[in-house]
Structures are given as structure tokens and as C-alpha cells.
Amino acid sequence: MRLAAIWSLLLLLAVSLGCGSAGLSSSSSTQAANPSSVSVTLQPVQPASPVQVVATATSPSPIVQWQLAVDSTVVLKQASSAPQLTDSVPLTAGQHQITATASNSTGKTGSASVAVTIGTAGASATSLSVSLKPIPSVSPATVTATAQGPNSLTGWAVYLDSNLVYKQNTSANTITQSIPMSSGQHEIIARAWDTSGAYATASATADITTSNTTASSGGLIPNPPSSAKTWNDVEEMKGWSDCGACAGNPSGTGPVGKYWFKQGVTSPSLDGNSMETYIGGWVPWADNVFGFHFGPQNWANHILYTVHFLWNAPKTTSADGSYVVQAAEFDSFFFSNGFKYMFGTQCDYAGGYWGIWNGPENKWQNTSVKCNKFPPNQWHTVTWYGERDQNQKKVHFVALAVDGHQSKIDRWMDAVGSGSNDDSGIQFQQDSDRYGSPWNAWVDQISLTVW
């Protein structure tokens, strides 16, 4: 078992944290989808007029009508019980959006859209066509989009109700991403860019009937009050510090590999400005820790820490076939009036469960919440909510949200005495495996809220 530490280049704080073992598994279940829901998918279309449109609908209730629109103008409307619509549509030069809508016998509708650019006669094809697979009615929902065109792709973006929820610079023609959504209807938009600068968009309606995503106002994680203090995009701020030896041992003598961090990274990134971190050097069980300090916040007793996280590696699996990530740690803390209130947490890849830091016993303590061992090259969102009791000198791990799915933790720990100056902050830590395998992480859109 390894330990990690909170430190500061200015304050020289030493805190023990690290990677630990896992506990018992947990189970989950989903409910059946709404029997009246309709899901529609459009196949990619070729950028040549007339375009061949092929749309498919799935619904437990019979399909009774199809409608086809080009640039919001209905060009076809027919009563039909067929689950598939095929039609040839003439288009003028320029960019167009084609939308297919199916209705079932209960009155429910579903739609999907695809964008296509028709070139002028004799012009070289530079267009893209993007399509979306049917989106399931259970959240988090899997969004799969495919692009077709003559040029290599440069990136993808996915929007949920006009809000960016996924962005990746990649040449992959197909992306698959898990998107948390609340119950009800949502518009999903997938957009791809290619090397010519062209882009294409596909849209679809998701009708979520079963959601594991709980709204903050009524869930385990509350909406902060108006009096709360928030720092956004912390990864872009100046003042980050790093440490290797102090990450693996409270005495500062832990295994030290190669490590570094770099700010202002444009890719991979959600907003064009992420922070990249690295651990390597083939030193077994080496760790690193990167931290940011916000100064004393003795007035606050609630803390909400959110980080968007992605990792990758030259070789993502080690010699034993497991991911090279041993653990990823996401920590926040208060130092107040001689006590350390440490909200230390980790996704333990080795065991597969989320752990929380037991300060008095100086060790990791398992929760019943499974950590799904985030695969490489995928963005995920981690949010931890905690509170403290300064009278009783207690730390309360309240809840965890991963990609919008909230889990109850409700575990109390004693705070521990500390001779450090009053302070507050966050940290992110990489733990390497028994081979010391190298891996990179990217963090983006980090926020901390206290009240």
C-alpha cells in the first residue's frame, strides 16, 4: 500500500494519502424503457444530389407515419407502418440538414438529422456526412456517431440540449460516449470536422425514461447557496505545484519516478485549455501529486470538487494484462485551527472500488461504490461532495458523482491534528503500477466550491 501527501512549495505541508486495496462489489439495475418511446436513426448520405435517405425507427408500438424535412421544410409526409423509410431527395449546392421523423400509434415521435454539403458541378468533394445510432432510453445513454467523407477527421463534439458535453481531437470515424441525462426528452447533436475545415452535424431526440442521473437540487449533492465561493477552470490558474517523494510516503521518502505537468494543452481538451500530467520512469509503485492552494477558508464547512479526467499511455496495459493505472486520486482539504480535514479519495484500479482516506489510521478505507476503471482516451467527470464539523472535528464524505451518476457515501472520519498554517485546496495524483509503467493524464474544467 502506498501513501500520498498534500504539500506546498511555499507552506511545506505534508499529508499522507495513496493507493489501497479494494473491497466488496456493488450491484446496479435498470428499469425497462417506456413502451411508447420512438428511436430513429439515419444512415450517412453521400454528398451528391439526389441524396439517398435511409431512416430506421424502433418502437414497441407500431409506426403509423413518416415525415422527411430538408432545412425545416417538409418534403415528404406519409402514413406508413414500415419501420424503415427510403427516399431520394434532390438538393441544390450548399449545406443542408435532412430530418426524418417517425410517429407511433401512441402519438409519440422520434427524429434524427444528418447534415450534408452538396458541391457545385466539377468541384472536388470536401464534404462530410454524420449519422447517429438510436439513443437508448436509459441514462447514462450511449451516443454513437459515425462520419463519412473523403478527408481525414480532425475532431468530434457532442452537445446535449445545446451544451457541450464531449470534445475530442481525433481522426476516428466513429465515436462512442456515455452521456448522463435526466428523465425527459433531450436533443443530442454530434459534429465532426475534417482536415479541409469542413464540418457536418447529425441530431437526434433522446427520450430518457430511466435515469441514474439525479438532479443536484433533489439529489445527494446540493446546489451551493448564493453565498458560496467558487473557483472555475483551476487547471488554467498559475501557482500549481508538484511532488514525487512526498506523494508516496508521509516522510517524503516514497519511490520517485519521472513526473511533470504542463498547462495550456489544446488537445485532448474539452475547451482548448487542459492540464497534462505524467508519471513514468519504470520505478515500481512511484506516485506524483499536483496541487493548488486557495488560502484559508475557515468560515466554510462544505466543499464541492469537480474535475474532468482523461488518461492515455504509450502502452495502456502492463505485462500482466491490466491497465497501467494503479489508481487515480482526487482530493480536497481544509486546514483550520490546528486540524487537517482531508477529503482524500481514489479510484483504485487494482481492486476496482472507490476508496476514502482514513486520516487517524493513516490508510485507505474501501466504500461499496464500484470504480469502473475508466478506459483510456475517454473523458469522465468526477465530483466529490463533503462537509466538516469543526466543533466535533469530523470529516463527512457525503456523496460521489461520476458522469452525473450520484452515489451515497455517508462516511464520517475524525480530523487529525496538524501544525500547518490554515489553508484549503485540491490535488490530483497519479499512482503507477508494480512495473512503474508510464501514463499521462489530462484534467480540465476543474472547479472548487466552498460554503
Phi/psi of residue 247, each to 5°? -75, -25
The confidence score (pLDDT) of residue 256 equals 82
Average pLDDT over residues 360-371: 92
Instruction: Kindly tell me the burial class for residue 102, based on how many C-beta atoms sit within 10 Å of its own C-beta (0-12, 13-18, 19 or more).
Output: buried
Distance of alpha carbon 383 from alpha carbon 385, whole angstroms: 7
Pull the grid cell for residue 317: 496495459
Asked if residue 285 has pLDDT above 60, the reply is yes
Q: Looking at 164, 181, 211, which one is the last position of a domain?
A: 211
The answer to whether the CB of 262 falls within 8 A of the CB of 443 is no
Query: Are 370 and 291 found together in one domain?
Result: yes
Look-up of cell digits 464534404: 127
Q: Looking at 211, 237, 267, which one is the last position of a domain?
A: 211
Query: Are 176 and 227 found together in one domain?
Result: no
Query: Are 76 and 98 found together in one domain?
Result: yes
Residues paired with 406 in a beta bridge: 401
Q: DSSP per residue over 44-111, as a string? A: ---SSSSEEEEEEEE-SSPEEEEEEEETTEEEEEEE---SEEEEEE---SEEEEEEEEEEETTS-EEE
Distance of alpha carbon 402 from alpha carbon 370, whole angstroms: 11
Q: Looking at 211, 228, 243, which one is the last position of a domain?
A: 211
Report strand pairing: 153-160 vs 241-243. Answer: unpaired
Instruction: Kindly report, residue by residue over 135-169, the tens digit of the pLDDT.
Output: 877 777 788 889 988 888 888 888 888 777 777 77
What domain count does the chain have?
Answer: 2
Asked if residue 26 has pLDDT above 90, the reply is no
Query: Are 182 and 283 found together in one domain?
Result: no
The confidence score (pLDDT) of residue 244 equals 77
**Which CATH number goes with the domain that contains 205?**
2.60.40.10
* Domain-located, residue 24: no
First to last CA, the chain: 34
Categorize the per-residue pLDDT at 45 as very low, low, confident or very high, splitting at 50, 70 and 90.
confident
Query: Are 205 and 328 found together in one domain?
Result: no
Q: Which of 403, 374, 241 is nearest to 310 (CA)?
A: 374
Report strand pairing: 210-211 vs 138-139. Answer: parallel
Instruction: Kindly report, residue by residue over 293-310, the tens digit of the pLDDT.
Output: 999 999 999 999 999 999
Range of the domain at 51: 39-211
Q: DSSP per residue over 85-97, as a string? A: EEEEE---SEEEE
Query: Are 187 and 226 found together in one domain?
Result: no
Query: Are 302 and 441 found together in one domain?
Result: yes
* Helix/strand/coil for 247: helix
Query: Are 196 and 147 found together in one domain?
Result: yes
**Which CATH number goes with the domain that contains 387?**
2.60.120.260
373 torsion bin: left (phi>0), alpha (psi -120 to 50), beta (else): left
Asked if residue 35 has pLDDT above 80, the reply is no
Q: How many residues does the chain have?
A: 451
Distance of alpha carbon 289 from alpha carbon 330, whole angstroms: 10
Asked if residue 403 has pLDDT above 90, the reply is no
* Domain-located, residue 3: no
Q: Give the best-scoring range by mean pLDDT among 134-143, 253-262, 308-317.
A: 308-317
CA pseudo-torsion sign 263, 267, 273, 279? negative
Residues paired with 332 in a beta bridge: 343, 426
